[in-house]
Structure formats: structure tokens, C-alpha cells
Structure 1
Amino acid sequence: MSENAALPLDQDVSRELPSQITIPPIKGEMVHLRPASVDDLPRMDELDAYYGASKITGKDAQAERAVVHTWVRRSVAWANGQKPDESGVGDPESRRTIAWAVLTDADHDEDGEIDAQSTDNVIGMIFLIDIDGWSRSARIQVVLGRDYRGRGYSRDLMPRVMTYGFAPEPAGLGMHRIWVAVPEQNSRSCSVYQSLGFEPSGASRDALWDAENNKYQDLIVMDTLVDEYDPIRSLDAFGMHVIEDNPGVQEAMSAREHSIAIRKNIAAQAEPAPEPAAVEESADAEQAPRIEKVAAARVPEAHNDDELAAPGEESTWPYGQGERKPSKEAWWRILGRGRKRDMEDDE
């Protein structure tokens, strides 16, 4: 191993979390987010938000309620500039938490009334928890009211929160990794997470008790890294649109423009220069398809193997599902700063 290989990858990134944070509001198409408060906790009970917790997170309802109360209090403490031990619930590892209340002012069931009028438009919460400044890592979790599950709200929420989590400071948290933990029987959530770019990274065997089936089950860990996550594509996957004034989005949009330009440049360089004789034959209708095939074959497979791309649509996914590269520099974070990414592998 070379001397440089032992150096930290993000030498310019602080390993200390700020002592106080301003939690930004985040807009979605179906819902919007604001910082959660202690006053929102009774609303979670009204929403029956802890129903079926063992199937969704592997915890029983009482334990799920307790951790949600802890996460909200830790989030409020951080926003107020309090130390972890001043939150009233403690935080021995100094891993911070951000809690947003999920609100909707829509009438999605078309009954003539706002869906969540009885709970002041709150339908659940979304969290970034275990925010670790040293490893630049955080876990994401959504807790929705019983009647608001399965309507696509998570698909609207998660990409926008993850974009903020990955965006460089001060636009975002500057995280390197975001992960989730899912009971193995919750295959529906696993599918959603994979569509967002998460990859299974391991399993804790028999880590959870499945009360319904009276047996143990594994806890599946899934994660995605900043240089693997495409914040634009994750919205496209579910038919959602970019909201440009959300935190971190401008950096992501700038990076996407750079990424597309780089791919076009690679494709142009891959197209072979025509031979003198071939120039005369350029009018031949058979020549163009041949050149296109050669150019396409030389473009890295990562740009062509995205399962989520519609037929005939060029993928914008930075790394394909079959090409998970070791994390070196965040593709959209670095490009968003206007730097040029070295397209060759570092030896």
C-alpha cells in the first residue's frame, strides 16, 4: 500500500458535527417536511403510527414509540444548540439525530376534506439518525400513520432527505454513507430501497423476533454511498420531479450537468476517426449503424445497465448495479464544487 493510500479520502471534511444545526424545511410533491417538535409526538399516537412495527422495523410497538420520542428530543436539542447530554434522553456516542414531521394539505382520497386535518396535517415523521461525524454516516427511517402507508409518500420523501444528507456543507450534512436496516420479511421496503439505489451489504442473523410467525428473522442492512447515489435518478425512478429550491438540489443539478457532459465527451472520444477510404464511403447507409455500435460498446457499461431506465432512455445512474466501485471521491459532490473528476481508475 502506498503512503498516499493510507491518507483519509476526505481530508478537507471536518469530522466534527456542528454544535447547532438549522433543520431546513423540505418540499415534496405529495407532502412537505418541517422540523419535528415534541408537540408532534401525541399526533403520532393519534395516527396509530406504531401499528405493525414488528413487521416494518422489527421492534414491538412500545419500543418503536420510545425510540421515536428519543429521536425527536435529540433533534430538538441539536436545533437548540444543546449538548447531547442536555437533550433529556442522552446520547452517549454523540451521534446526532434530525427529525422532520411529514405533512400533507391534500385531499388524496377525494372525500372533500384534507386527509390529516385532525392531526394538523401531520401524517408521520422521517428521521436521519445515528448521524456520525467521524465516519460521515447516517441511518434513515420513515414512520407513517397507519392510514397513510402504501400511498407512495416514502418515495416522495426519501430521495429529497437523502439529497440533503449527502450534499456538502453548508448546503447539506456532507454524509458519505446512508443506510437502512430492514427485517427480512419486509420485502416491500427492500424493493423500494433498492429502487432508491440502496444495495444489500449484509445481514444480522436471527437478530429479530417475528411474533406473527413465531420464529427469528434476519435483519438486512442496506446502504448507498455518496459516489453511488444519484439524487436526480432516484426521483425519476418513481415519477417524481426535482424541486430546485430544496436543500442540496442545486449542487446535485450542477453535478448532473457535468456528468452528462463527461459521458458525451467519452462517447465522442470512443468513436474511431474515419479512414481516408471510409470518408468517401460515409454516405453509405450501412456505415452509420456500425460506427454507433462501436461507440456504444466503448462507453462504460455503468451508463447502460440501469434497470430503472425506461426503454430507449439513457441512464443517468453514475454507477450501475453491477459495478459498485470502492468509494474514492463523491461524484456529484466533487463535480458540484466545479472540480474535474479523473475518469481513470487510481492505481
Structure 2
Amino acid sequence: MSETAETPLNQEPNRELPPRIDIPEIKGEMVHLRPATIEDLPRLDELDAYYNASRITGKDAQAERAVAHAWVRRSVAWSQGLAASESGVGDPESRRTIAWAVLTDSDHDDDGRIDAETTDNVIGMVFLIDIDGWARSARIQVLLGKDYRGRGYSRDMMPRVMTYGFAPEPAGLGMHRIWVAVPEKNTRSLSVYQSLGFVQSGTSRDALWDAENGKYQDLIVLDTLFDEYDPIRSLDAFGMHVIEDNPGMREALAMREHSIAIQQNNRETSRETSGRSGDDTSDNDRLRDEAFARIGVELNGDDDDAAAHAADDKRETSPSAPSDTVEGDSTWPYGQSDRKPSKNAWWRNLGLSRKRDTEESR
């Protein structure tokens, strides 16, 4: 991630953000991400990326454009080792930003041409903003061109960006919390975030103006914590493959293998004491996995048919950890205990000794 050394397991993490960051490239199945540049900003205008901004983020197009330009400039400044005050747009709280350009080389309309050929393959941006080193918190936001919305691109990129955000340093940012703020009428984004494991943590009443309907609307705040987020399950819910060399994924896989070994050991101990057969246990595991696959499709709803169909493909999303990964070196915190399938919130069982009120998010 940066020029800082890895934090020992028994030492309190440094709560100062590094003066410079190396923004990694991130690979997806449908898109790939690279650090955004100032030169990418005019492409957002060409993509009509600020179209219907009031519905998607609650801002008017002019305000949305202004913040996107500020985020990119702050990201570039951080990658160059400049202080927040030297970004050209300032940041009084010194909360850094990372901006990636979203690129695709696909021809989804089968016209024989790359979809985003005229914008050098750029179809939008994804941001980690308000990165607070002291609280270990960041906010995620996606900005896509008008013609590239609703195609499943967010479902491909967001779990991978969040994996990097939560992964321990130096593999990732080492965040404790990632959050979003979504207008109440943006039901599509709410569905995506909930499928990723975000839970509603608050509501800002009448915080936004709904120009389309001429009335105020609420701003919904959702978040997820580092010991609740499961990157493997998040990808599986959308029918996406794990890409092992993405930042933070090796740590996630190593911890998953460690957790699976614990589960297997617990099952063997249980069979020895209760006399249950191995076949019964295997059947239970199969039924549980099938239930989670169904949950992923149901949570997606009708917002993205392609992602829903992909979830039925029975893809392998939990390969073994790389042979050069040492489990003891990982500080990834989540566990993989046996879960009870829950259509409303399967991810809530991923926390380590953490209880959260789920009623208000249903």
C-alpha cells in the first residue's frame, strides 16, 4: 500500500495515514481499475456521468461534477506524496481520497466495437473518500457513464475495492469501517449495497431535495465493519470469480483456509462424540451452500438480470490459498463458522462476537 512497514500483530496500528500511497490496479471480470488521472476528468463529461445525479446521489449535476474533480485531484496529490493542502482543492480535515478509473474492453452490444472505445475504455470511476486514518473509516462511491449503468459493473468492482480497503497493511488500507450514503429513492444502489453486506445504520431525514418529484427525501446511511465483511461470499453472491492476485485477496483466502480447517476439525470432533456420519455432514454443507447461492439471487432482485443468472453458474469462488501464503502472517479478522441461512442478512453472522440490531434495516 505505502512505504510503511507491516504492523506486528500485537501492536496498535498506526492511525496516521502515510504521506504517500501507491494506488494499486484492481482486476475484475467485466472491468479493471487503474489510478484515475486529471486527464480522465473530461471523459466523465463525454460519458454523461452526471446524468440524473439528483436521483443517484442526491446532488445536482454541477455539484456532482465539482466533487468528482476534487476527489480525483486529492487522489493524484496523495499518490505523488503531496500534502492534502497541496492538492489544489484542499482538505481541511486531511482525509485522503483514492480514485480509480473504471475501464472495460467488452463489446456487450455485439456491434463489433469495444463499448467505451471513444473514451479510451473508461466508463466511469470508483472512489474511496473521506479516508479517516484515526477512525479507520472510508466511504465508497461509484460514478458510471449514463450508458453503462445497470449492467453489473458495480457488482464486479465493489467487492474487490472493499477487499483492498479492509485488508491489513501493507496489502490494503486496513480500514475498520466502510460506509455509503444513498438517497431513499435510489433502490437499485440500496439493493447492491445490502447484497454486499451493508446494514442501515442511520437516516438523515429530509436531507436531500428530490427535484424530480418536488419534495424532500431521506438520505440512508449504511455501513459494514471489517469483522462483518466476507469478500469471498460477496463475490459469490454476485456470481463473480475470485482473482487471487488482487490486493488483499491472498490475505482473505489464507484466512478462509484457516477457518475451513477449524470447521473441519470441529466437525470431526462432533462426529466422534455424536456418531454422525461424514455423508450427513457433507449433505448439510451442500445444502447450506445452495441456500447461500439462492440468497444471493434473491437479494439482487430484478435490478441486474445478468448478475442474477451468473449466480446460478456454480462457479468456484473459494480456491485454495496460494502455497506461498503463510496463514500465521495474516491479520484478516473474519471467521467462517457454520451459518444459518437468512434471506434478510446472511452476512450478519460473519462478525466476531459482535451483535447488531437488524430490525430497522428490514
Counterpart in 2 of 1:96?
A: 96
Q: Which 10-residue stretch deviates more, 226-235 or 10-19? A: 10-19
Alpha-carbon separation, structure 2, partners of 1:145 and 1:130 = 23
Alpha-carbon separation, structure 2, partners of 1:19 and 1:303 = 43
Which has the greater radius of gyration?
Answer: 1
Instruction: Kindly state the Cα deviation for residue 271 of structure 1 after the two structures are TM-superposed.
Output: 3.5
Q: Deviations over 1:48-94 (max 9, x none)?
A: 00001111111110100000000000000000100011111001111
Instruction: Kindly state the Cα deviation for residue 106 of structure 1 after the two structures are TM-superposed.
Output: 1.6
Alpha-carbon separation, structure 2, partners of 1:288 and 1:173 = 44
Contact 2:202 2:220 in 1 (8 A): yes
User: In structure 2, the residue corresponding to 1:155 is in which secondary structure?
Assistant: helix
Q: Deviations over 1:4-33 (max 9, x none)?
A: xxxxx9852110000000101111111111
Instruction: Kindly state the Cα deviation for residue 192 of structure 1 after the two structures are TM-superposed.
Output: 0.8
User: In structure 1, the residue corresponding to 2:273 is in which secondary structure?
Assistant: coil
Counterpart in 2 of 1:218?
A: 218
Q: Which 10-residue stretch deviates more, 42-51 or 264-273? A: 264-273
Q: TM-score, normalised by structure 1?
A: 0.80
User: In structure 2, the residue corresponding to 1:115 is in which secondary structure?
Assistant: coil
Counterpart in 2 of 1:114?
A: 114
> CA separation of 1:326/1:308 partners in 2, compared to 1, >3 Å: closer, same or farther?
closer
Counterpart in 1 of 2:139?
A: 139
Q: Which 10-residue stretch deviates more, 320-329 or 129-138? A: 320-329
AA partner of residue 148 (structure 1) = Y
Alpha-carbon separation, structure 2, partners of 1:318 and 1:224 = 17
Q: Deviations over 1:128-150 (max 9, x none)?
A: 00000001000000000000001
Contact 2:232 2:242 in 1 (8 A): yes
Counterpart in 1 of 2:25?
A: 25
Q: Which runs of 5+ in 1 are unaligned?
A: 1-8, 279-286, 331-347
Instruction: Kindly state the Cα deviation for residue 167 of structure 1 after the two structures are TM-superposed.
Output: 0.7
Counterpart in 2 of 1:189?
A: 189
| 1:113-262 superposed matches below 5 A | 113-262=113-262
> CA separation of 1:272/1:157 partners in 2, compared to 1, >3 Å: closer, same or farther?
same
The root-mean-square deviation of aligned C-alpha atoms, in Å, is 3.0
Alpha-carbon separation, structure 2, partners of 1:219 and 1:121 = 32
User: In structure 2, the residue corresponding to 1:124 is in which secondary structure?
Assistant: strand
Contact 2:336 2:350 in 1 (8 A): no
Alpha-carbon separation, structure 1, partners of 2:261 and 2:238 = 25
AA partner of residue 308 (structure 1) = G
Instruction: Kindly state the Cα deviation for residue 231 of structure 1 after the two structures are TM-superposed.
Output: 0.7
Instruction: Kindly state the Cα deviation for residue 308 of structure 1 after the two structures are TM-superposed.
Output: 3.1
Instruction: Kindly state the Cα deviation for residue 325 of structure 1 after the two structures are TM-superposed.
Output: 7.2
Counterpart in 1 of 2:59?
A: 59
> CA separation of 1:323/1:111 partners in 2, compared to 1, >3 Å: closer, same or farther?
closer
Contact 1:228 1:318 in 2 (8 A): no
User: In structure 1, the residue corresponding to 2:261 is in which secondary structure?
Assistant: helix
Q: TM-score, normalised by structure 2?
A: 0.77
Q: Deviations over 1:252-282 (max 9, x none)?
A: 11111111112222233333626xxx8xxxx
Q: Which runs of 5+ in 2 are unaligned?
A: 1-8, 298-310, 319-334, 340-344, 355-362
> CA separation of 1:237/1:224 partners in 2, compared to 1, >3 Å: closer, same or farther?
same
Alpha-carbon separation, structure 2, partners of 1:139 and 1:60 = 20
AA partner of residue 33 (structure 1) = L
Instruction: Count residues with an aligned counterpart.
Output: 304
Q: Deviations over 1:101-148 (max 9, x none)?
A: 011112111101111111111100000000000010000000000000
User: In structure 2, the residue corresponding to 1:70 is in which secondary structure?
Assistant: helix
Contact 1:229 1:318 in 2 (8 A): no
Q: Which 10-residue stretch deviates more, 241-250 or 262-271? A: 262-271
AA partner of residue 203 (structure 2) = A
Q: 2:296 aligns with which of 308, 324, 330?
A: 308
Counterpart in 2 of 1:68?
A: 68
Contact 1:166 1:172 in 2 (8 A): yes
Alpha-carbon separation, structure 1, partners of 2:71 and 2:40 = 12
